[in-house]
A and B are shown apart, each in its own frame.
Chain A
Amino acid sequence: MAAPAIELRGISKRFGPVVANDRVDLVVEAGTIHGIVGENGAGKSTLMNILYGYHRADAGAIRIDGVPTRIARPIDAIRAGIGMVHQHFMLVATFTVLENLLLGAEGGPLLAAGAARLRAELARIGREHGLDVDPDARVGDLPVGLQQRVEILKALCRGARVLILDEPTGVLTPQEADELFRILAALRAQGRTVLLVTHKLREIMAVTDRVSVMRGGRMVAHRRTAETSREELAELMVGRKIQLRPDKRPVRPGRPVLTVRDLEVADDRGVRRVKGVSFEVRAGEIVGIAGVAGNGQSELLEAIAGIRSADRGEILIAGRPVRGASNARPRGVGHVPEDRLRMGLVGHLPASENAILGYHRRRDYVAHGLLRRGRIVDTCAGWLERYDIRPRAPLMPALAFSGGNQQKLVVARELEHDPELILAGQPTRGVDIGAIEFIHGRLLAMRDAGKAVLLVSVELDEILALSDRVLVMFDGRIVGELAAEEADERRIGLLMAGIAAEAA
């Protein structure tokens, strides 16, 4: 039997007092897709960064194709035939695809020869793997899925036989993710090895041959994908039984809280993204808006939250129109924004100051124009306790919390100010399973307490798990409405793809 493509033995790494990797072993057979799952902070990224030479392990050995290899810097990894595609792309947006590939592989002071060589190489790889990208397109103009393809090409052009992908689908639409998986399967067919780091179990089940589970810096299990299940993996990741589908009480909708009529909204560039949308959300129900990202859901949500002005139509909260974000919150609109780091939080400010963002004019927090600091910190500390946000450090900058804990902080802030209407935009994006379970539980509790919830999500699982009614958006319009009982992945999927309801 051939030597494994990668063999890690006893890898340990500490950052100050934190043990990120504790005697980790990993064997990856050549020509397979190997998944590594674990919650945020389980040590997956650290392990991959050690393999790629960003960090040096405190202890342990690395063998590549059976040969002991010292990897101190990324260049060592590249020479050993390892390529990495980062979660956040390392591309120059204003350069063309070819120029990006040329970076670090110029092959001399004059670019022409290297460029010509790369162009030929690119065409060859494109033929072999079905990885077509226009070499002269500007990277900034390409959709995210194609940018990721450029990253993969970059690794392949440098002769990578082992490809590491770190959370590759976080920024992709479901279609783009499927396309990526097709590419990964093609690479495997060519005998290359893929290491897929993710916390999404659906992807693990869909494409990997084997899977290794990490928890708390240790490797806790290795499985053949065919012999395991999502439930088992979830349990291994979290260390306890996990409910992937929450229990729901029967819905009892009350009076309408949100009414949207003939709404039209444009994006920042003036392109109309919401084209005449009307619907209602009643007290005590969760209405889910499904759709492929970029079909107007974001603009719709921002318009209702008062962040984006509508060109036409009406938005009524409890029968009265809203004017702007500073007006929406006092009227009882809680808003969990789609992008927590850009909008929902101010990364460099402490958790306590983030806990009042948008509510900082309330008398609970301000007296005579001055912040009531003691009360703000106490309030925040209470939420950290009740929402199990770790560490319990209200004065720590929001950035220093993990993604799941950041999101729980945003959710706490928006749910704890007693809203009547909750706008939840991708409430569990980039969040680990434990936090997903918690946030879903909180949203259902708000619904049972008689609040109206509008959920926008590109995760079909999430829509199906929570919604009492599902609206499907396509190209700025609502193209279908399904009750929870009649909603399933196939029907919603067809509507999302823009195929009319009758055909479904």
Chain B
Amino acid sequence: MGCASRLPAWVELALLPALNLAIAALIAGLVVVLIGEDPLEAVGLLVYGAFGYGEAIGYTLFYTTNFLFTGLAVALAFHAGHFNIGGEGQAYLGGLGATLVALHWGQLPSPISIPLAVAGAALFGGAWAFVPGWLYARRGSHVVITTIMMNFVAAALMTYLVVNVLIKPGQQIPETDIFAPTVWVPPLAPLSASLGLDLGRAPVNHSLFLALVCCLAFWAFVWRSRFGYELRVVGKSEAAAIYAGIAPGRVTIVAMTLSGALAGLLAVNEILGSQHRLVLGFTGGYGFVGIAVALMGRNHPVGIVLAALLFGALYQGGSELAFDMPEISRDMVVVIQGLVILFAGALEHLFRAPLENLVSRLQVAR
């Protein structure tokens, strides 16, 4: 009895996601056929566009880095029992934090200025998520509602700041001055070149390592630390938390703040590692896709790495595909991503019941 999974671990962790992905690919293929293109050729172009040559790999990894940060952000809040939809806004504010540090102290030597700017991004992203956490703890406001509202506030605030305050003096384009090169997060290209891989002009940079360190820290924090334990108890049962002498409000506030800080780190990759200045709308929807990444990755760092890589490949391979097959527009690529999200996230239990039946029948037969 109970509701623990009756499936062997390899089915749960490998076969189920693979099946979901396969069905998404199948339907996406049908759509391609309907448009009148060859689906196999499209798949080939997509895979080649994502992994076929050095620069493609570089771009794929760059997008992967973004999805790692936002996926981890959503997953952390999820373990505390909350659905943080505000990754987009928190990342946006993270950009403000990074920018303010970069503009004021960017000329300091890199070992000082870069960590400061990273801290700025985390601090501002965290602060933006602290507000919904605090509102929930003190007033019971629903985090889904408050975080999504904070996205709009963030967008309006950032537009105002970039257009009216931070804009490079004497120009019309809404963006700040270029940062001092000392605060740029160094690109990976020189490193990979020494290993024999030419990344071309891909913007992938050392933020990728920061993201992977975050994955490791995430795992240790959630499953090995005392605070992570309290966080999971609160996420699963507030009544049990109160019984155990844990203050759910305090835990929620900390969890949301850390979640926002992770989202804010997106700015390190985008702003400090690639754009080197603050531009409007640099978050590009990565915050929202982070929800799908966390969902598909089952809120576990290993799953999130795989899901982020998949979405990174879809992003990069998709734009190549749109370029090579004019029939397939940029929007079509979004449709394919949507199908992946639909089958891997929303319909993740589609094959569960039939598989469970099959497994139990096989066991009886044995």
Task: Report which A residues bind B (CB closer than 8 A).
Answer: 14-17, 41, 58, 305-307, 324-329, 335, 337, 339, 342-349, 353, 356-358, 360-361, 366, 369-371, 373, 396-397, 399-402
Contact = CB atoms under 8 A, between A and B. Distances in A.
A361 B230 CA distance: 10
B237 interface: yes
A344 B243 CA distance: 7
Contact of A325 (B6, B242, B360): B242
A435 to B, nearest CB: 16
Contacts of A328: 245
B243 A335 contact: yes
B240 A346 contact: yes
Interface of B: 1-4, 6, 220, 224-227, 229-230, 232-233, 236-237, 239-240, 242-246, 359-360, 363-364
A380 B267 CA distance: 44
Given A370-B225, A400-B4, A357 B363 contact: no
A339 B246 CA distance: 18
A324 B245 CA distance: 7
B41 to A, nearest CB: 45
Q: Which 9 interchain pairs have the tightest Cβ spacing?
A: A326-B245, A400-B2, A358-B244, A325-B245, A400-B4, A343-B243, A399-B2, A346-B236, A357-B244
A366 B236 CA distance: 21
A14 B245 contact: no
B224 A371 contact: yes
A339 B237 CA distance: 13
A344 B240 contact: yes
A337 B237 CA distance: 14
A343 B4 contact: no
Contacts of B363: 16-17
Contacts of A373: 224
B245 A329 contact: yes
Given A58-B364, A349-B233, 11 more contacts: A15-B360, A325-B242, A328-B245, A343-B237, A345-B240, A361-B226, A369-B226, A397-B2, A397-B4, A399-B2, A399-B3
Contacts of A369: 225-227
Contacts of B233: 346, 349, 357
A290 to B, nearest CB: 24
A348 to B, nearest CB: 5
A342 B239 contact: yes
A145 B237 CA distance: 27
Nearest to A399: B2
A399 B240 CA distance: 14
Contact of A396 (B4, B227, B244): B4
Contacts of B220: 370
Contacts of B236: 346-349
Contacts of B239: 339, 342-343
A343 B245 CA distance: 11
A84 to B, nearest CB: 18
Nearest to B236: A346
Given A14-B364, A397-B4, A342 B237 contact: yes
A337 B243 contact: yes
Contact of A353 (B1, B229, B242): B229
Nearest to B366: A17
Contacts of A339: 239
Nearest to A397: B4
Which of B6, B220, B364 gathers most chain A CB within 10 Å? B364
A399 B4 contact: yes
A16 B244 contact: no
A360 B239 CA distance: 16
